[in-house]
Every structure is written in C-alpha cells, then in structure tokens.
Amino acid sequence: MNTTQVPVERRQHPRFKAAEGVFAALVNHGSKLGQIKDISKMGLSFRYIDHGGPAGEASELKIIIGSGGLYLDKLPFTKVADFQVRSEHSFSSLKMRQIGLQFGELTRQQRIRLENFIQMHTIGEA
C-alpha cells in the first residue's frame, strides 16, 4: 500500500516575504550577512555566502534596512536550521547557505519594532 504523508505545518504565525534591500546579520566570531528571505513574529530565515571557513557561533542578530541602516539589534535567537542551497546560476562558484533562526524572549520595544518592520518591509505571505 502506498501512502503519502502530508507535512504538518508547525509554525504558529504566518511568514512574510521580505522586501528587497532588507538584511539580517549575525555578528561575532563567524559573521554572516544576507538578504532576509522570510520573517514572522517568531523568527526569520536568510541566505548568506558560505566562505568555507570554520563556523563560529554568532552572539548577536541585527536587522538592517539597506536604505535606512540598522533597524533592530541585539535580538535573542536560537539557530534552528542551516543548510546549503543550490545556486540560481549554474556558472556561479559561490556556495550559498540558508539559516533559520527562532527569536528568543524579545523586549516590549523589540516586539513593537518587529511588528512595524513586518508591516512596512514585507510583500505578502511566504
């Protein structure tokens, strides 16, 4: 008998596609910077260039708007995924990775700014 299981969606909040020009940065020993792919009230994912060096653990998450600079910083987080993604261009020698982060306990001010960010810098549900 052939049965197909449908994956169960575990997220409690909708994810939104980030607009062009908004970035996430993990800062400290193994800094990573990349355009945010999607974001929710509980976390975000972004793609970054894999430089092939040792993977250091970052201690600080920042959200940056390309035209406006730093938007949010010192966000608590837990890494939930980090995997290699296929390059969209077959001729590219760059290795790309995608990282998924879950936010930790945010302050009231961070929650308000995050909600404002989602309203003003996303382009629909992911």
Which pLDDT tens digit goes with each residue over 33-48?
Answer: 999 999 999 999 999 9
With residue 96 as reference, give the H or E element that holds it.
strand 96-103
Which pLDDT tens digit goes with each residue over 67-108?
Answer: 889 999 999 999 999 999 887 666 667 888 999 999 999 999
pLDDT of residue 10: 58
pLDDT of residue 41: 96
Q: What angle do CA 98, 104, 110 make, to 5 degrees?
A: 100
pLDDT of residue 7: 46
Cβ–Cβ < 8 Å for 110, 56: no
* Structural domains of the chain in order of their starting residue, each with its CATH number: 21-125 (2.40.10.220)
